[in-house]
C-alpha cells in the first residue's frame, strides 16, 4: 500500500454512504446488470492475480470474486465505517484471500494487476489525479475497469436529480450534490479522464443491462510507452 499526494478540493460526504447497498445480494435487484458485470470481472480476474476494488462498499463484488478465484489475492478499500465493518466482520469474514483497508481511496494506491471501482470516481473533484495515482501502482499490462453515471441519460438525470434540460444541454460535465458531491460526465469526458490518467481504453459501453441508470463502463490497460 502506498500513500498518495493527491489533495482534492471536493469529494462526497463519507457519512452519506453508510447504508449504501448494505447487505444486498447479487442477482436479485438488477440481475441482468449483475450477470453482465460478474462475467466481465471474472474474465479479467482469470488472467490477473492481484485485484483491488477502490470504494468496495460492503464487499458485494469482492465476495463473489474471492470465492470464485481462491488463488487470487484481493484488496478492498472503503472509507465508510459501517460498510467497512460489515464487509470485514460479516460478508468477507471467512474469506482468507481478501485484505481490507479502512482508508480514503484518494490517499492510497495498492500494487495490483487489475483494479476496479464502481460508482466512485465521479465523486472526486480531481478524478484524473486519483485515477493516475491508482494507475501508477498497476503492473505493466495491468487492467482497470470503472463504471460511472451517464450525463447523456437525460430523462433519468432530470427525474433523479431534479435537473432541468438547460442544466444538461451541451454540457461535458455537470456537478450536483448526490452523496455530497457527484459529477455527471459525457461519454467523451470520461474517455478523456481515463486517457489522461495514463490508461488506454479497450472497451467503452453504456451498460444497458441497468435499464434505468444506463451507466458508462470503461475497461482500459496501463500505457507503458
Ligand atoms: C456507489 S458506491 C459503490 C459501492 C460498491 N462498489 C457497490 O457496488 O456496492 C461507492 C462507494 O465508494 C465509497 N467511497 C466514496 N468515496 C470514497 C473514498 N474517498 N475512499 C474510499 N471509499 C470511498 C463509498 O463509501 C461507497 O461505498
How many angstroms is it from 119 CA to the middle of ligand 1?
A: 7
Q: Is 0.85 topped by the overall pTM?
A: yes
Residue 28 is predicted with a pLDDT of 95
What separation in Å is there between the alpha carbon of 225 and the centre of ligand 1? 31
Q: How far are the Cα atoms of 52, 64, 158 from residue 105, in angstroms, in the given order? A: 11, 21, 29
Long-range contacts of 204-209 (CB under 8 A, 24+ apart): 206/150, 207/33, 207/36, 207/37, 207/147, 209/30, 209/32, 209/33, 209/35, 209/36
Percent of the chain scored above 70 by pLDDT? 100
pLDDT at 9 over 90: no
Residues with CB under 6 A from ligand 1: 11-12, 17, 20-21, 55-57, 60, 77-80, 83, 104-106, 118-120, 123
- Ligand 1 atom nearest 77 alpha carbon: 21
Say if CB 219 and CB 40 are below 8 A apart.
yes
**What would the mean pLDDT of 49-74 be, rounded to a whole number?**
98
Q: Please, what is the average pLDDT of the chain?
A: 96
Q: What is the mean pLDDT of residues 127-131?
A: 97
Please, where are the H alpha helices in 96-186? 127-136, 154-161, 165-168
Nearest CA to ligand 1 atom 26: 57
Mutating to test ligand 1, I would choose from 57, 103, 105 the residue with most ligand atoms within 8 A of its C-beta, which is 57
Which of 224, 203, 198 has its CA nearest to residue 141? 224
Task: Indicate the DSSP class of residue 176.
Answer: E
Amino acid at each position: 500500500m502506498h500513500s498518495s499526494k493527491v489533495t482534492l478540493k471536493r469529494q462526497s460526504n463519507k457519512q452519506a454512504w453508510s447504508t449504501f447497498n448494505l447487505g444486498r445480494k447479487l442477482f436479485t435487484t438488477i440481475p441482468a446488470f449483475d450477470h453482465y458485470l460478474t462475467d466481465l470481472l471474472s474474465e479479467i480476474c482469470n488472467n490477473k492475480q492481484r485485484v483491488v476494488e477502490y470504494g468496495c462498499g460492503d464487499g458485494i463484488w469482492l465476495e463473489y470474486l474471492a470465492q470464485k478465484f481462491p488463488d487470487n489475492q484481493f484488496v478492498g478499500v472503503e472509507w465508510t465505517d459501517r460498510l467497512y465493518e460489515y464487509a470485514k466482520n460479516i460478508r468477507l469474514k471467512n474469506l482468507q484471500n481478501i485484505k481490507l483497508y479502512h482508508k480514503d481511496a484518494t490517499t492510497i494506491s495498492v500494487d495490483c494487476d487489475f483494479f476496479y471501482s464502481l460508482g466512485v470516481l465521479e465523486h472526486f473533484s480531481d478524478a484524473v489525479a486519483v485515477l493516475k495515482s491508482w494507475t501508477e501502482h498497476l503492473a505493466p499490462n495491468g487492467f482497470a475497469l470503472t463504471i460511472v453515471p451517464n450525463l447523456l441519460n437525460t430523462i433519468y438525470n432530470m427525474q433523479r436529480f431534479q435537473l432541468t434540460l438547460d442544466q444538461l444541454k451541451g454540457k461535458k460535465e455537470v456537478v450536483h450534490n448526490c452523496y455530497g458531491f457527484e459529477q455527471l460526465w459525457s461519454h467523451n469526458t470520461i474517455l478523456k479522464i481515463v486517457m489522461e490518467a495514463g490508461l488506454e481504453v479497450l472497451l467503452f459501453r453504456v451498460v444497458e443491462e441497468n435499464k434505468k441508470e444506463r451507466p458508462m463502463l470503461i475497461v482500459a490497460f496501463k500505457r507503458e510507452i
